[in-house]
Structure 1
Amino acid sequence: MWLLRLKPHLSVSIWTLVLLGNAWLPLSEGTPKSSSPFRTFQVTDWSLTHLVVHNKTGEVYVGAINRIYKLASNLTLMRTHVTGPVDDNEKCYPPPSVQSCPHGLVSTNNVNKLLLVDYSGNRLIACGSASQGICQFLRLDDLFKLGEPHHRKEHYLSSVNESGTMSGVIIEVQNGQNKLFIGTPIDGKSEYFPTLSSRKLMDSEENAEMFGFVYQDEFVSSQLKIPSDTLSKFPTFDIYYIYSFSSEQFVYYLTLQLDTQLTSPDSTGEQFFTSKVVRLCVDDPKFYSYVEFPIGCVRDGTEYRLIQDAYLSKPGKALARQLGISEDEDILFTVFSQGQKNRVKPPKESVLCLFTLKKIKDKIKERIQSCYRGEGKLSLPWLLNKELGCINSPLQIDDNFCGQDFNQPLGGTVPIEGMPLFVDKEDGMTSVAAYDYRGHTVVFAGTRSGKIKKVSASGIMAMDLLGSFIFCWYMCLPLLHKTDTFSTKLSLRMMALLFQQEPKNSDNCA
């Protein structure tokens, strides 16, 4: 699955999907345009926010403001589903469709914040910002609306309308209950929304248990809320979920949040942010396995702590040999901006980094083992609001340990550092994708200025997207016209997908 998220500070009037292939048919809302060396899908009315590609059919689903689009693998428009605008007011809880609201309703855009393919249910999950963040289930074939659960508080995920800050992972359970892990900012509304939760994914869209917590009793449930004490001290505290994935028996999130250790509670002071890797066991309904670690990269003494994007991949044969790992192991490519300030408009200086999942797992295991020896504290100030000491226990902690009702939740204190591959001091990298071609790992990073940078073992080649010239690295593909950073990012993911095609003319390279 290929997922694109729009960064919140980007704003353009024309949005373009560009497929880098050998055909020459551009499309705009399904209407052909003049001849061009790309296939494109272009919209002028609504900003695009997310993209997923079906892993078997190659069909493309695009989330936008007020729209969901289905495209063929060549970007021909097949279906359009309208999600907004709707008459709404973010102060209305429950939403006005459920209960009459004393606040005035206005026509409100519905920003698509989450787009996932539920393969076992043959449906698309599209969650928006309107009506307190309810989701629609759409049939994959024709985007027919199968259901829109909105009557229970569990159906409201978050009213935050900033795209690229919510992330989800579907876990399919053989002969069991499928789950949906959701991470989202809450804009201070902890009484309404958990920031992290595990939800039931029912077969029927009308089932009353849809999106109910996987586990809930009087004291414990499958959710994590930002404490009111934290919000009282730091009113702007929130957690932004930049990327998520599952690996083996764990779910991981890469997040960006206010650093409460560096930021003064005084609202007039400077704000600092920190990036975290969050891990949960898939089969831990009580969230006893919750662990988070600061994560980042350092190059030549400069710290890069603001996560922009990430991409889970496998190493090619050459890279696996260099890293000393198996080709079957997971690796993580990441992009960080320099420093810890300015989340919305981060510094242009950025770094492309590599993590092995083995290193992340080993660091987490070492931290858990240390805590179960009674060493140190839980070190999770934003969640616990006090320092609690670790409790000594004879339990043996292995790679698959999923927590107990003590020594949790647990935070790391020393950042897990990635391997810096390339520093960009001018363009500001915002996205990353990777692909293994004949044993070689190719990494592409999109920038704010509309460039794609290719990083390989032999170095870097930057390609300005102002023209339609051809570049070659194991194969030839035409470059797209420069339109905006978003199309670069979206095309970046399409590039990674389409690089699996063999080149037709590998000698025609410039």
Structure 2
Amino acid sequence: MTNSVLGVILIQILISGQIGSIQSAPLSSYLVSSFTPPDTDFNLPFNHIAINNITGDIYIGARERLYQLDSNLALKVTVDNGNCDTSDKDNKLLTTVVTHHIYKLITCGCQKGSSLCQTRNPVNISLDLIELADTPYIVAMGDVSMSTVGVVALGADFEEDEITKHGESLYFFIARSGGGAASAFRFISKYSLADLQSQQQIPANILTDDSTSSKHIISYEDFLFVFISRDEETYLGRICRDSPDQDFASYTEIKLECGHAGSQNVIQSAYIGPAGSELAKSMNISTEDGVLYAVFSSTSSYLCAYRMIDVEQTFEDAIFGCIQGTGTGIANSFISDDIHRGGSKCEKYANGELPQHPFRCTGRIPEEDSRNGYLLYKYVSATNPLSASPISTIPDVISTSIVTTVERHHTVAFVGDTQGYFYKVE
């Protein structure tokens, strides 16, 4: 959960149905248990929530506070981060990493006057605190509207100047808001879980402006998908989890539109999951195929669904359009076109027929006389948007989150809003 929640956590149990109608109620109608912070000023925003899948403990990042609850929402531990010197005093990023070899909670944000990241013991978040050096630029601080989103996922082990795969490990992938020539931050980065040192990254200072807002990130199959709001339009960025390029040269963007001519373009949240048999039939896909569900808002909220086969094809068309000049893909205009600064590039292959090559994860063609190969493309945008019509509309509501499930062959979407209401779209 990456959107702010004021003062209370609620757990809901609902019955599923079929997309088509909308039922709504205050979240309190589904209240099973609740938590109210014991602090005097308890109506501070909860910015991030993480769950320990082994113990069921819940970790909350709030303003100058971290809370640890048990599975019944009883308070176990409170950590006072202190009065931060930055104007943004929120804890802006949390994740739990639970494997056979790694058991830790990672927090980033306000920490006694700085914005460093830390690792903590998930059993008791006040213990075994380790400050991670050189991490002040991971999260977007200062402007509370500028979010940082992250996900732990498998990625290829990477060594600088090597483009071969050395195996896979868990890494922390982060997408941050902001940018512009003066930015010291990174736009998208892959970090080691041991010390949060950057392994691969797209620097934010090659973005042409600072309007990029990273809203959500999803790991799906071989890719990471980053949902971006820019100038009140929505873009979907894609990188390969096992990209062999230090600067994620194969990063590609497509534009998402919801509604007639993209009339609803402000992305709020998204989810990738299957479709029930009825929705799958209407979309002409199998129930095994993935669907991207996205909620957009203006003065109301709109749910649009995109076939993942169409999403993936749009990315492929963008890459080959860039290389072959077919008009379906061009150099990304939001990333500097100065290639010496690491910016975007499209270049036709000058050595005859284009070789058979897996271009989706690298724009480099291996050459015998070059260790890094021939760079054919870097940072691409699709020229045509991927559009869909809303399958549901929730009037006069600004949505904040979405998750879907399938019950009895029907697709059900659960949507939360800024006013504490919960919608079952069936």
- Residue equivalent to 1:361: 312
Residue 329 (str. 1) matches residue 273 (str. 2): no
Measured against aligned partners, the alpha-carbon deviations of 1:422-467 in whole angstroms (never above 9, x if no partner) come to 12342233332222223322112223444333222xxxxxxxxxxx
Residue 253 (str. 1) matches residue 253 (str. 2): no
Unaligned runs of 5+ in 1: 23-35, 91-107, 203-209, 216-221, 232-236, 259-272, 338-346, 457-510
Give TM-score scaled by structure 1 length: 0.66
How far the C-alpha of 1:73 sits from its partner, in A, is 2.0
Residue 391 (str. 1) matches residue 348 (str. 2): yes
- Residue equivalent to 2:301: 350
1:373/1:302 Cα in 2 relative to 1: closer, same or farther (>3 Å)? closer
1:146/1:238 Cα in 2 relative to 1: closer, same or farther (>3 Å)? farther
How far the C-alpha of 1:126 sits from its partner, in A, is 1.3
Q: Contact 2:331–2:337 at 8 Å: present in 1 too?
A: no
1:354/1:239 Cα in 2 relative to 1: closer, same or farther (>3 Å)? same
Q: Contact 2:140–2:148 at 8 Å: present in 1 too?
A: no
How far the C-alpha of 1:409 sits from its partner, in A, is 1.0
Of 168, 171, 183, which residue of structure 2 is paired with 1:179?
171
Separation in 2 of the partners of 1:435 and 1:58? 21
How far the C-alpha of 1:128 sits from its partner, in A, is 0.9
Separation in 2 of the partners of 1:241 and 1:409? 17
Of 32, 43, 58, which residue of structure 2 is paired with 1:38?
32
1:21/1:349 Cα in 2 relative to 1: closer, same or farther (>3 Å)? closer
Separation in 1 of the partners of 2:146 and 2:411? 26
Q: How does 1:37-436 map to 2 (within 5 A)?
A: 38-43=32-37, 44-45=41-42, 46-86=44-84, 88=85, 90=86, 110-120=89-99, 121-129=102-110, 133-152=115-134, 156-162=138-144, 165-172=147-154, 176-186=168-178, 190-202=182-194, 210-215=195-200, 222-227=201-206, 230-231=208-209, 237-258=210-231, 273-284=232-243, 285-286=245-246, 287-299=248-260, 303-337=263-297, 347-376=298-327, 378-385=330-337, 389-392=346-349, 394-396=354-356, 401-404=361-364, 405-436=375-406
Give TM-score scaled by structure 2 length: 0.77
- Aligned residues with identical type, % of pairs: 23
Residue 444 (str. 1) matches residue 405 (str. 2): no
Separation in 2 of the partners of 1:176 and 1:389? 30
1:165/1:365 Cα in 2 relative to 1: closer, same or farther (>3 Å)? same
Measured against aligned partners, the alpha-carbon deviations of 1:238-289 in whole angstroms (never above 9, x if no partner) come to 321111011111111001123xxxxxxxxxxxxxx32110000111142121
Separation in 2 of the partners of 1:56 and 1:319? 34
> Which residue identity does 1:41 align to in structure 2?
F
Higher relative contact order (CA 8 A, sep 6+): 2
1:171/1:315 Cα in 2 relative to 1: closer, same or farther (>3 Å)? same
Measured against aligned partners, the alpha-carbon deviations of 1:215-236 in whole angstroms (never above 9, x if no partner) come to 5xxxxxx3332337x34xxxxx
* 1:325 counterpart SS class: coil
How far the C-alpha of 1:151 sits from its partner, in A, is 3.4
Separation in 1 of the partners of 2:146 and 2:7? 16
Unaligned runs of 5+ in 2: 15-29, 157-166, 339-343, 365-374
Q: How well do the aligned residues superpose, as a CA RMSD in angstroms?
A: 3.0
Q: Contact 2:414–2:425 at 8 Å: present in 1 too?
A: yes
How far the C-alpha of 1:396 sits from its partner, in A, is 3.5
The range that moved more, 274-283 or 398-407, is: 398-407
* 1:5 counterpart SS class: coil
How far the C-alpha of 1:155 sits from its partner, in A, is 6.2
* 1:73 counterpart SS class: coil
* 2:265 counterpart SS class: strand
1:159/1:129 Cα in 2 relative to 1: closer, same or farther (>3 Å)? farther
Q: Contact 2:300–2:395 at 8 Å: present in 1 too?
A: yes
Measured against aligned partners, the alpha-carbon deviations of 1:162-217 in whole angstroms (never above 9, x if no partner) come to 26721112123597543211111246574421122122222xxxxxxx222215xx
Q: Contact 1:52–1:116 at 8 Å: present in 2 too?
A: yes
Q: Contact 1:50–1:63 at 8 Å: present in 2 too?
A: yes
Q: Contact 2:64–2:91 at 8 Å: present in 1 too?
A: yes
How far the C-alpha of 1:64 sits from its partner, in A, is 1.0
Measured against aligned partners, the alpha-carbon deviations of 1:34-72 in whole angstroms (never above 9, x if no partner) come to xx9631112352321112233344332222111222222
* 1:256 counterpart SS class: strand
> Which residue identity does 1:42 align to in structure 2?
T
> Which residue identity does 1:436 align to in structure 2?
V
Paired residues in the alignment total 373
